[in-house]
Each structure stands twice: as structure tokens, then as C-alpha cells.
Amino acid sequence: MKTCSISGCSAHVKGHDLCAMHLMRLRRHGSTEVVMRPGPQPKAKPKPKNEALQIAKASNSELDGNQVRILRVLRGGRELNRDELTRNYNNEWLNSLWALANKRPPLIEIRNYEGDRKHYHRITAAGKAALKKAEAAAATILECASKR
């Protein structure tokens, strides 16, 4: 029987003068050379289960967990309308929304477009700053906790 045409390989020929292993390498990778697969990727640090609550705690009672979640959604550029809020969220969420609008300076702006009778919400510069400050405080707290 014929042996593989690759130097140093003494396996029997499967096709094209190559053994099964080298033939499969040629088909899969276009070459009979050894192809190294990448090893396992390092795992990302696990995020805390309720990150919004940790950010709220770090904000020294300026924001609660629901308010942090609302500000993050609005910061992403998506507007929330009243139908969405009443359908998807509970009264705690709505109360948090109004609390954000009533803070001084207001952290969100609630607008009513006449004609379609819907309320739209937008994060203000003060809201972005408050969220950024709370997230930075939470990151500092988490860093200190992880070093211990």
C-alpha cells in the first residue's frame, strides 16, 4: 500500500496521495500544515447581579435602583412613552420617573406632544452627570472591594 506523500507521515493514503488526516487539513484549511486552534478565551469579570442597586447605593441616596435603570435607558437614546411605561413597568417605576422629573435640577424632561396624547421622556445634561457620578462612585467601591 502507498503511504502519505507528506514527509514524516507513514499513514496509508486516503486520496490525492495524502492520508486521512492531511487530506482533511487540506480540505478544511487549504494547507496540510498543522493549524493551531486558539485556546479558551479569558472569562470576563462577572457583573454583579443587580448593578443598578449598587450604583444607587453608591450615589449616597441621590438615586434609587429604578431611577438608575430609567436614566440608563434614556441615556441610550431611546425614548419611553406612557403606553410603554404603563404596560411594561409597575407603579414604582412610574413614581421613580416622576421623582426624576421633579428633582432640582430636573434629571429628565417629560414632554407631551399634542395630538397623539403621549408623554415622551428625555434625559437632561444634569441627569447624565448624576448617572455618570453614581456609576463612577460604584466603580470605585467595586474596585476597593475586589482588592480586599
| Cβ contact 40:30 at 8 Å | no
Residue-wise pLDDT tens for the chain (148 aa)?
Answer: 789 999 999 999 999 899 999 999 898 888 888 877 777 887 776 655 567 777 777 777 678 777 887 787 777 767 666 666 666 566 776 777 778 888 888 888 777 655 555 556 778 888 888 888 888 888 887 777 666 6
Grid coordinates standing for 8? 514524516
Pairing of strands 118-123, 108-113: antiparallel
Amino acid at 28: R
Predicted local confidence at residue 60, as pLDDT = 74
* CATH of range 51-147; options 1.10.540.10, 1.10.10.10, 1.20.140.10, 3.40.190.290: 1.10.10.10
Tracing cell 431611546 back to the chain, one arrives at 78
Predicted local confidence at residue 3, as pLDDT = 92
- For 5-31, the pLDDT digits (tens) are 999 999 999 998 999 999 998 988 888
Q: Is the pTM of this model over 0.75?
A: no
Question: Which residue ranges make up each domain of the chain?
Answer: 1-35, 51-147
